[in-house]
Amino acid sequence: METQILLDNPYLEKFQGDKLNTVTARLKVLSNPDRLKILCVLVNQELHVQQIENFTQIRQPTLSQQLTVLRQANIVVTRREGKQIYYQIQDQNVLKLMQTLDALYCSSQHED
């Protein structure tokens, strides 16, 4: 009976092939604490590198490395204004996920 329930699971059918690989790749990128911090501060706003550093307390070499990973994964996009490079979340699915994580774990009503 239990095996039949698992085989008839409609969610399992949705997570096949490319979709499964896409979800796995996104979650792998999001599994880093520094990258999560960066995305948390970008949820509601576009920020330049110095602002991200100030908000997250991630120092420049590490910050640069993690922003590169997020950019290469097409999660964030950049915009140059003078000498400043601004970052914002580009992937709307990641934005929704970050908003959900915020509601679940960061709201003042959340209890462990």
Q: Tens of pLDDT along 90-108?
A: 999 999 999 998 888 876 5
Q: Is 112 exposed, middle or buried (0-12, 13-18, 19+ CB in 10 A)?
A: exposed
Q: Tens of pLDDT along 14-38?
A: 667 788 888 889 999 999 999 999 9
Q: What is the pTM of this model?
A: 0.80
DSSP 106: I
Q: How far is CA 77 from CA 17, 30, 69, 85, in A?
A: 27, 16, 11, 10
Please provide the average confidence, as pLDDT, over all residues in the chain: 87
Which DSSP helix (H) or strand (E) runs through 77?
strand 76-81
